[in-house]
Amino acid sequence: MTKKVPEVVVDWLEGYVFLGSDESGHSMVFDAPEDGVPRGMTPMNALLAALGACSGMDIVAVLGKRKQEVTSMRVTISGVRPEYGYPKPFTSISLNYVLTGKGLEKKFVDEAVNGSMDKYCSIAATVNARAKIDYDYEIVEG
């Protein structure tokens, strides 16, 4: 069975600036600045950010179910793309999670991070067919 997701609209504003909006009224500015002044995130950086947010949500959900107290999380994501030719898809993506919390147990963080990348994150599942994804994490007490 398949599910249709809510519609997203992208409107051209000027130059290479676009505004993406969803049915709930949330929006995001995209740009590939021709004049060197960025007015929004590039679409490729937005893809990386979406991957980090998607997997981060999974991790917070799993750790919450395991009664793990996460007080903050930062995900740093980087990608490698070809320098020449078109298109220039990501060939590899690396994620580093820094989780801060009180008494976070490594076994539960392992379960959450691995589960997100291997099972839950739809963006990882979509991108993984094209780019190699690797990830690691750090636990900070606090």
pLDDT tens-digit readout, 80-98: 999 999 999 999 999 999 9
pLDDT tens-digit readout, 44-93: 999 999 999 999 999 999 999 999 999 999 999 999 999 999 999 999 99
pLDDT tens-digit readout, 92-141: 999 999 999 999 999 999 999 999 999 999 999 999 999 999 999 999 99
The residue that leads in pLDDT, 15 or 2, is: 15
- What are the structural domains of the chain? 1-41 (2.20.25), 43-141 (3.30.300.20)
- End-to-end CA gap in the chain: 43
Residue 6 — very low, low, confident or very high, per pLDDT cuts 50/70/90?
confident
> Cα–Cα distances in Å, from 7 out to 12, 26, 53, 106, 109?
17, 12, 19, 39, 34
